[in-house]
Amino acid sequence: MAINAKNQSPFAVCISNKDYPVSLEVGKLYQIILDEAAESHGYLRVIDESGEDYGYSMDRFFPIQIPAALQEALLKAA
């Protein structure tokens, strides 16, 4: 699940919140923060329920592509 600057998916859906039930909600859309160093170690930085960005294992998320207009609206609302 490579996330890179060329084809960055700025959002992902949580598919597992095991051990993090307060920080992550299964089925919820989370904003991804590009971090190649974290990715190289198998982590994805997302803005979680605390409103801060933290690294979680990539297997907890499914990145999705969304239309540009929706992406813009979501980023403005964040």
Distance CA 58, CA 1 (A): 7
Residue 71 pLDDT grade (very low, low, confident, very high; cuts 50, 70, 90): confident
pLDDT, residue 9, reads 67
Q: Which CATH architecture has domain 11-77?
A: Roll (2.30)
Dump pLDDT digits (tens) for 42-69: 999 999 999 999 999 999 999 999 898 9
Distance CA 62, CA 24 (A): 13
pTM for the full predicted model? 0.82
Domain ranges in the chain?
11-77
**Percent over 70 (pLDDT), the chain:** 88
The CA-to-CA distance between both ends of the chain, in Å, stands at: 24
Q: Where are the beta strands (DSSP E) in 1-78?
A: 11-14, 29-33, 43-47, 53-57, 61-64
